[in-house]
Copies of this chain bind each other. A is one copy, B any other.
Amino acid sequence: MDKRESTTDLAAVAMGRKPGTLIIRNGSLVNVLTGIIEKNTDVIVYGTTIALVGDASSHPIGEDTEVIDATGRFLLPGLIDSHMHVESSMVDLPSFAAGILPHGTTTICPDNHEITNVFGLKAVELFKLTSENLPLKVYPAMPVCVPSLPGMEDAGASISADEVKEAYEKGWAELQGEQMNFPGMIYGDPAAHAITAEGLKAGKVLTGHFASPDNHRGLNAFIASGITACHESTQADEALEKASRGMYVQMRYGSAWLDLPNLIPALLENPDMDTRMFTMVTDDVTPSTIVKEGHLVRVLREAVRLGVPPEKAVQMVTINAAQLLEKSRWIGSVSPGRAADILLVNNLEDFNMELVISGGIPVAENGRLLRPMPSYDYPEWATGSVHIPPQLAEDFAVPAMDPDSIDLRVIRLIPGMVYTKQEKHSFVPRRGQFHAAPEKDLAKISVIYRHEAVIPPEHHRSSAFLTGLGFKSGCAYASTVSHDCHNLLVIGTDDEAMALAANTLIESGGGLTVVENGKVLSLMNLPLAGLMSLKSVEEASVELESIEEALRIIGCPHESVEMTLSLLGLIVLGELHLSNRGLVELKDGESPRFVNLFD
């Protein structure tokens, strides 16, 4: 990936003894190293690498030298997203690259923990292989929290210190992914610290996810453990504290988690502060966010709109991120010897990408990709990840112990939020079972283990009830995107509908589907690990909109509700969630625990 040209050639081009492959003339360079805008600046590129920045007027032009006039345009380094998950955009890496390059993101650090929950270490290798021929710099972050809560749920695999070590030895990961087990780190969990030790031993930058309000002892303990980047700040004072204590702040502005506006005051209220510790990331964006608003440039634009001076905002998505990654000798600035990742934009407010050059090659112009992305030929195992036999309606039955009405625990969905609330609702058994009750907005929810590994039969499935969704009768929704284990999630108001939804995805190899009155209203195929489409971001966006439209038809009006639903199985969140092993309650300041439906 670090395909630096031979230094002999680069020196020859800089000295004018050899023509460059690309010359950009007369741009206004946003120099992120000095924070100064340098007018009338030329750049000479040789192959993948920048050879000269300054005045190219007397340098030779060869037969194959492409010359680009940048008069009236600003030159920026390619944008660097230091924390994100490709899987959230529901397409594979080549399609993702095709989707984001026109928006100027030229480097990503994907923490591919979704697919790793499905396939384990071989997913890490697959991701690395997939990235290799793309005109995008991909620095994979090794997932370290797979599954999120060992012993309370079952993913397709688990990652321990041994796998982390192996991935580093084999060169499959460039940095350490988000350590989400912050309680484990600060309270001294040996397994979490063993993983950290492997990262430090391998010299990797370690990233974290510190979501506790304990900005003092806990934060110090987390940083003292060697973790120097975190994207989980939600308040300005938290961000300021992290930066002051030596942790890069990765200010997040994804599709759903919009922390940036809450963090920017840390900068605006301290205008003289050195901002080198501040960066911006996307974390999770839907395909439609990319199509409609762009990728990291959308975050940059928002920061400038909120009042951050453009030069500083650009630093936060270029040189600061490169320094976070300890890769500023290769990316993050338009300087000689660095990768020729260069953006031509027409202003420093909208940052409209007139031309995107990645690795020395113009790859996109005015939002359009200039050349097709190489596709990847996936092995069979990667597209066959739903290992569940056909389902019958009775498989979804929730048996009642006795015929009397009883209060059951119910998960309350809070649209747009990552947490749920716990409620009690009275249920009257019929024919020895508890049933969904659409008239009271009570749906049934089931999680079915879908991975290849053999686990005890009692962990194959669990069921419970859900409110807050508004599904009509005779409807169901199913999805193989269900964080973090990504088991098959089925929600419905009717067991027949649930079985149809489940079987639709079992047959298609994974995805999202909506069913009403015995008919499939919409199906989005996600064959790669049951998480990702093999189509383009644009197609994925359209298909996802069709799922959302179908959800509205069956009674669920909330925006991007599939994202909220995909967290119903994520048992590290409060307050009540469902794993394949059963209901898990997590209250503030307590450890997660299994609870049963009845008490």
Task: Tell me the smallest distance from the CB of A329 to a CB of chain B, in Å.
Answer: 5
Q: Which of B17, B197, B326, B335 contacts A223 (CB 8 A)?
A: B335
Given the interface pairs A15-B221, A246-B336, the reply to whether A226 lies near B273 with Cβ below 8 Å is no
A336 and B223 contact, CB distance less than 8 A: yes
Determine the distance from Cα of A274 to Cα of B312 in the docked complex, in whole angstroms: 10
Determine the distance from Cα of A527 to Cα of B216 in the docked complex, in whole angstroms: 53
Within 8 A of B (CB), among A177-213: 185-188, 190, 193, 196-197, 200, 205
A10 and B224 contact, CB distance less than 8 A: yes
B35 and A274 contact, CB distance less than 8 A: yes
Chain B residues near A220 (CB-CB < 8 A)? 14, 51-54, 336
Within 8 A of B (CB), among A314-360: 315, 323, 326, 328-329, 333, 335-338
B34 and A217 contact, CB distance less than 8 A: no
Task: Tell me the smallest distance from the CB of A50 to a CB of chain B, in Å.
Answer: 7
> Residue A277 at the B interface, CB < 8 A?
yes
Nearest chain-B residue to A184 (Cβ)? Answer: B11
A217 and B7 contact, CB distance less than 8 A: no
> Residue A218 at the B interface, CB < 8 A?
yes
A33 and B277 contact, CB distance less than 8 A: yes
> Residue A243 at the B interface, CB < 8 A?
yes
Chain B residues near A326 (CB-CB < 8 A)? 326, 329
Given the interface pairs A33-B244, A246-B33, A246-B333, the reply to whether A315 lies near B224 with Cβ below 8 Å is no
A338 and B246 contact, CB distance less than 8 A: yes
Task: Tell me the smallest distance from the CB of A144 to a CB of chain B, in Å.
Answer: 13
Determine the distance from Cα of A329 to Cα of B246 in the docked complex, in whole angstroms: 8
Proximity string of chain A (90-130) to chain B, C-beta cutoff 8 Å, 1 when within and 0 when not: 00000000000000000000000000000000000000000
Determine the distance from Cα of A200 to Cα of B17 in the docked complex, in whole angstroms: 23
| Copies of the polypeptide in the assembly | 2
Proximity string of chain A (227-259) to chain B, C-beta cutoff 8 Å, 1 when within and 0 when not: 110000000000010011110000000000000
Nearest chain-B residue to A272 (Cβ)? Answer: B35
Q: Which of B4, B12, B205, B224 contacts A51 (CB 8 A)?
A: B224
Count contacts on A: residues with CB < 8 A to the other chain.
68
Chain B residues near A333 (CB-CB < 8 A)? 246
Within 8 A of B (CB), among A58-75: none
Within 8 A of B (CB), among A14-60: 14-17, 31, 33-36, 38, 49-55
Chain B residues near A38 (CB-CB < 8 A)? 244
Q: Which of B14, B50, B224 contacts A336 (CB 8 A)?
A: B224
B193 and A277 contact, CB distance less than 8 A: no
> Residue A591 at the B interface, CB < 8 A?
no
Chain B residues near A10 (CB-CB < 8 A)? 221, 224-225
Determine the distance from Cα of A193 to Cα of B11 in the docked complex, in whole angstroms: 10
Determine the distance from Cα of A200 to Cα of B223 in the docked complex, in whole angstroms: 30
> Residue A426 at the B interface, CB < 8 A?
no
Given the interface pairs A220-B14, A244-B33, the reply to whether A193 lies near B7 with Cβ below 8 Å is yes
Task: Tell me the smallest distance from the CB of A270 to a CB of chain B, in Å.
Answer: 7
Chain B residues near A4 (CB-CB < 8 A)? 200, 226
Cross-chain pairs A/B with CB under 8 angstroms, 12 sampled = A7-B200, A12-B221, A15-B187, A35-B273, A50-B224, A52-B220, A220-B336, A223-B337, A226-B329, A245-B335, A274-B315, A326-B329
Closest 9 CB pairs of A and B: A246-B335, A14-B221, A224-B336, A35-B274, A10-B224, A7-B225, A11-B221, A52-B220, A14-B220
- Taking A223-B337, A245-B335 as known contacts, 19 extra A-B pairs with beta carbons closer than 8 A to each other, sorted by chain A number, are A4-B200, A7-B197, A7-B226, A11-B221, A11-B225, A14-B221, A15-B187, A33-B277, A34-B240, A34-B243, A34-B273, A34-B274, A35-B273, A51-B221, A54-B216, A54-B245, A220-B336, A223-B335, A246-B337
